[in-house]
Amino acid sequence: MASATEDEGDPAPTNTLQRQRSIRQAVEEGHDADIPSDLGFIPTEEDRERRRRSIAASHRSKEDPEKGLGPDDKSRGTEEEETDDANIVWWTDDDPENPYNWPFWTKVINCALVSLLTFVSPLASSILAPGVGQLMEGFQSDNNELSSFVVSVYVLGYATGPLLIAPLSEIYGRIPVYHICNLGLVVFTTACALAPSLTALIVFRFLSGTFASCPMTNSGGTIADMIPQEQRGKWMSMYTVGPLFAPIIGPIAGGFLADAKGWRWTFWIIVIVAGVLAVAMLLLARESYAPVILQRRVMRLRKETGNDMLRSKLDAGLSKFDYFKRSIVRPLRMLAKSPICIIYALYVSIIYGYLYLLFTSISEVFMNNYFFDDSVVGLVFLGLGVGSLAGLVYFTMTNDRIVRAKSIENGGPGYKPEDRLAPLPIGAILLPTGFFIYGWTAQYRVHWIVPIMSHALIGFGNVLIFMAIITTLVDTFTLYAASALAANTVVRSIFGAVLPLCGLEMYNDLGIGWGNSLLGFIALAMVPAPWLIMRYGETLRKKYPIKNL
């Protein structure tokens, strides 16, 4: 078996031994935390039985196609399985097709492409926000709920797309799904730019969000396909630039675009950028999902050798239809059966809902209280941007180092997914602090720089929480990272779509001070959660292992 390549300077034997020990520990504990996609699923007894019967049936059909399975098939399947090793297709030493062995720049290009795609997707979600007033006036509507919903309905698409996109990527590979969804995003964003009515615009926005959910679901899995766990923190930082900064940059660009060219141009700019990126991915992106890469090798070798018994070591013995049925419910089964998955989803969902509530309300607050005009109100989001950037830099510089230190404390080598959660308490404290300052300084119209600085605290805390939980999810469910992220995306997107609907009404009823204080008190009640997760997370993961997914 080819071991994953490490950064230059790392002692290969030590890293290989460390990975082998981590994998054995993961198998014993019944989770995929240290199992990259090139090692595949851990077969259960049910999987082994299915494979024995599949081998026996295949041999029997060659002898007598008219016969079905007989009572001796199980024993015969076992005998055949024992001699089946010669037909197993697997990586060779230093196999260049193994994504863990790809050249550094190949990984950089793949990671950069999916990261850019992950930037464009949420950019499209918020770029419309400053032009909503102009849009509602153009469609002759003054409904506050609809004005918020036309922005947040895009995020509702994030809640539906992953349920199909994640399993499809685990059947057909990452790249075909990226290409189809890129095309869907361009087509339906074009439809938004040409929408003849508010109803049509809402429908097209929803469909755009559905296709745009692809990178939000699959990019983490793509990175997990290529990058060893101990190096994944800095690479995940590149991926998370999109979800964290694009929704902030969107309103800044949207404010100037809507003022200069009208709200429809906020869609045309997305069509242009997404179209260029779609072509770049078509030309440069490379398939990284190991089960699909090996299956392609199997099909090639079958043609070359005429040996139809060749099979990938990662072949689960399921038909595509059976695999799809099993995979499409995997995100929901994760939410139903894994307490850790549920806890992470709910925590991130509240944070995500807060963020989109700010996107739909900040412009209104600063236009009414500080009399900013349409063209410059988007600049208010720079506070969130600066705070988010600072949080990302802090996480990138410290998280991998913290994980290595904790590994030594735990008697290493070996990594635990929960080690990624170290920055979580800092974010949990900063979040309510920022909302309290923002609410009351804006209420009493303290100089506008002060509430913008409070946004920086919110952005910093939001990034630490988001990054810690997302990287922990990828490390916990590596092989099924796409499904784990899909489960998280579904829940948080529902919050992100629904919570903003009550934002303006909340401020109208409670005022800016008490409205933001309400959000702050909820966030304050959540402050103990990080310590509880860090203390009991590993216990819950081991007590409720993810098996037979």
User: Which mean pLDDT values do the consecutive 10-residue runs of the chain (549 residues) have?
Assistant: 38 42 36 40 52 52 41 45 68 88 92 90 86 86 81 84 80 92 96 94 94 85 82 72 75 83 92 96 93 90 88 77 73 82 89 81 83 79 86 82 73 70 91 94 92 93 88 75 74 82 80 91 92 84 69
CA distance 105 to 532: 40
Question: The tokens of 422 are what?
Answer: 């170290």
Calpha distance 41→315 (Å, rounded)? 9
What is the C-alpha separation between 475 and 5, in angstroms, rounded? 18
Distance of CA 215 to the CA centre of its chain: 7
Q: What is the 8-class DSSP label of residue 194?
A: T
Who contacts 169 (Cβ-Cβ below 8 Å, separation ≥6)? 177, 217, 218, 221, 289, 482
Assess contact for 200 and 264: CB atoms under 8 A.
Answer: no
The stretches of 338-448 forming alpha helices (DSSP H) are 339-369, 382-409, 424-443
Calculate Rg over the CA atoms of the chain. 25
Can you tell me the distance from the alpha carbon of 52 to that of 57, in angstroms, rounded to the nearest whole number?
A: 9
Compute the half-sphere exposure of residue 55: CA atoms within 13 Å on the CB side of its CA.
25
Question: Helix, strand, or coil here: 227?
Answer: coil
Query: What length does the chain have?
Result: 549
Pairwise CA distance, residues 3 & 18, whole Å: 11
Q: What pLDDT shows up at residue 87?
A: 83
CA 225 vs CA 233, 281, 291, 482: distances in Å: 14, 17, 10, 10
Chain-centroid distance of CA 43 in Å reads 25
Give 445's Cβ-side CA count (13 Å radius): 7
Task: List, in sequence order, every residue forming a beta bridge with 88; answer none if it has no partner.
Answer: 311
Residue whose structure tokens are 């059947």: 171
The one-letter amino acid code at 377 reads V
Task: Read off the pTM.
Answer: 0.72
Contact 481, 339 (CB under 8 A): no
Please state, in angstroms and rounded to a whole number, the distance separating the CA atoms of residues 61 and 494: 49
Task: Provide the CATH number for the domain formed by 103-285+329-543 in this structure.
Answer: 1.20.1250.20
Q: Which two tokens stand for residue 539?
A: 């216990």
DSSP string, 92-105: PTT-TTSGGGS-HH
Distance CA 97, CA 429 (A): 45
Rounded CA gap, 391 and 423, in Å? Answer: 10
Yes or no: say if 422 and 468 are a contact pair by the CB < 8 Å rule: yes
pLDDT of residue 84: 59
Contact status, residue 360 vs residue 503, Cβ threshold 8 Å: yes
Helix axis angle for 449-476 and 382-409, nearest 10°, is 40
- The helix/strand/coil state of 371 is coil
Measured between its terminal Cα atoms, the distance across the chain in Å is: 25
What's residue 195's pLDDT? 94
Residue 324 to residue 172: CA distance in whole angstroms: 10
Q: Which residue do the tokens 């030493």 mark?
A: 93
d(CA 487, CA 221): 13
The three-class DSSP label of residue 372 is coil
